[in-house]
Copies of this chain bind each other. A is one copy, B any other.
Amino acid sequence: MDLNYNIIGTGALGGFYGGILAHSGKQVNFLLHSDYDYVLENGLQVDSGENSFHIDKVNAYNDTNKMPKADVVLVTLKTTNNHLLKSLLKPIVDKNTIVILIQNGIYMEERLSEDFPQLTIGGGSAFICCYKAGPGHIHHVDYGSLTIGLHNNKSLENIDIMKQVVSDFKLAGIQSNYDDNLFSIRWKKLIWNIAFNGICVVLNTQTNKLMNNPSSRAMLKDIMLEVISAARACGVPIEDEIAEKTLIHTDKMTPYAPSMKLDYDAKRPLEIEAIYDNAASLAAKHGYDMKLTKMIAKELRFLTSDENY
């Protein structure tokens, strides 16, 4: 089947994944906000080493009421904008649409299905280092793999569509997988995000500096082990040794300021709720107290309070 796509939120993530699908020949519409005029005129530039490309003519929209419907909606907004999804999605979804939230954090699909109980919702976790270098200009630093899964309506038909999405990404050059357990996808990504996102902000640093200092490295491992314990309490079996493996994996990464650090430096809202609060709430419901996670969230809230931000 030949799927078409709507990208909701053309920041670094939406520009990269939407751009690469469009570049591979897919029909892709982009919702833009601040960059709308620029991209309409100048197109979209994705820097990615020898795989860099430019899209001259972008199907750009600044209003979902004017956007055509598409088979698949990829939501690549920051979760801090998820309160907008109810009105943004309304004109472009029906019973045949699959909305996939490619976001960090957990419990976003549950929240969305409160507003759209019939909607088929999926989620995805991107393992990628990229940032917006300027208007309509995405710089892809490293990695790019994408794992997606369905939150509800797991019919064979919908699973087939998800697998087609995976296949479309693979054809576009992106390592991609379908995983039957979205809850597990979400918890696995939190291991890295809860540790690195907040700590890079609190200690005003980036990944390699945290990794090279024995104290912060040990702290990252403590935090990861807490997330793993929380995941297990929530019924997602992850082995403790994944913490050490994640550290070793991060050693090999290009030194990197995570998205939350970029947001902090630009004084944008931080994804504290989706990444920290929701994880701690889910764990608490299952009797596990994420003490470190809750403490980082409070440190972040202090640092981004009106008086200090």
Contacts and interface: CB of A to CB of B under 8 A. Distances in A.
A291 B202 CA distance: 17
B213 A299 contact: no
Given A303-B203, A305-B215, A295 B298 contact: no
Interface string A208-219: 011011011011
A229 B210 CA distance: 30
A298 B216 contact: yes
Nearest to A306: B213
A298 B209 contact: no
A114 interface: no
Given A203-B302, A219-B298, 11 more contacts: A202-B202, A202-B203, A203-B299, A209-B308, A210-B302, A215-B298, A215-B299, A216-B299, A219-B295, A222-B295, A222-B298
- The CB with the most chain B CB atoms within 10 A, among A209, A222, A297, A303, is that of A303
Contacts of A219: 295, 298-299, 302
A302 B203 CA distance: 8
A307 B215 contact: no
Q: Is the interface of A mostly helix, strand, loop or mixed?
A: helix
A292 interface: yes
A239 B153 CA distance: 51
Counting every copy of the chain, the complex holds: 2
A294 B297 CA distance: 17
A292 B222 CA distance: 11
Task: Report, nearest first, the 10 A-B pairs whose CB atoms are least far apart.
Answer: A215-B301, A219-B298, A216-B302, A215-B298, A291-B291, A213-B302, A215-B302, A213-B305, A203-B302, A292-B295
A216 B219 CA distance: 20
B292 A202 contact: no
29 contacts: A202-B202, A202-B203, A202-B299, A205-B302, A209-B307, A209-B308, A210-B302, A212-B307, A213-B301, A213-B305, A213-B307, A213-B308, A215-B297, A215-B298, A215-B299, A215-B302, A215-B305, A216-B298, A216-B299, A216-B302, A219-B295, A219-B298, A222-B291, A222-B294, A222-B298, A291-B291, A291-B292, A292-B292, A295-B295
A298 B297 CA distance: 17
Interface string A190-224: 00000000000011010001101101101100100
B292 A218 contact: no
A308 B213 CA distance: 10
Contacts of A295: 219, 222, 292, 295
Interface string A271-309: 000000000000000000001101101110111010110
A218 B298 contact: yes
Contacts of A222: 291, 294-295, 298
Contacts of A301: 213, 215-216
Contacts of A203: 202, 299, 302-303
A243 to B, nearest CB: 15
